[in-house]
Structure 1
């Protein structure tokens, strides 16, 4: 299975340039992803429920940061408070995943790999 004299592996010079450009773009995306990861770790995203009675703050990577509970929420009883906290957690999670998805789409937009 050796290539005959004068035959390459099917890559012309144009394909090699496209491939090199694709590798360069992929490297830029990788560097951007690293910066994005650091940015998401520093970010604070707030979810809330009960009109602000309960707030849950997470990082852009969904790491819990803190929970803020209004004194008014404490009078609602344990079951209601539990539901409010769960709803605020879901809100924070949904917002953080939407933010992450949005940032990743921005990062990878325009990434076109050539047909090899």
Structure 2
């Protein structure tokens, strides 16, 4: 019978951890991470859920003759912001899987 008590305690701990994970995931969506390129001429802001929420382009970099440069700056800024979002996700959600050795988890 002692094993059943341990199992119930473990289930309660898992439920508590699931709740904390859901709260942390929700909080990630409220975070904003910024990537810039061209000395700040292009700025991309993404959420902690890795969704682009804002793009700001300084009008001085808009050159109809050189659209490729602007495209490159947008890609650079977006990748930088996404990288920051990935790091934030790993550090936030990784705390829940530390030491569990679960394949495929964060």
Specify the TM-score bucket, using the shorter chain as the normaliser.
0.7 to 0.9
Corresponding position: 1:96 with 2:85: yes
Secondary structure of the residue aligned to 2:39 is: helix
Q: Indicate the structure (1 or 2) with the bigger Cα radius of gyration.
A: 1
Distance in 2, Cα, partners of 1:22 & 1:54:
49
Q: Which residue of 2 aligns with 1:26?
A: 14
The 8 Å contact of residues 56 and 68 in structure 1, kept in 2 or not, is answered as yes
1:1-116 correspondence runs (5 A): 13=2, 15-75=3-63, 77-109=66-98
Structure 2 unmatched runs, 5+: 102-106
TM normalised by structure 1 equals 0.73
Moved more, 23-32 or 102-111: 102-111
Distance in 2, Cα, partners of 1:65 & 1:47:
12
Structure 1 unmatched runs, 5+: 1-11
Runs of 4+ in 1 over 4 A off after TM superposition: none
TM normalised by structure 2 equals 0.79
Q: How many residues align?
A: 100
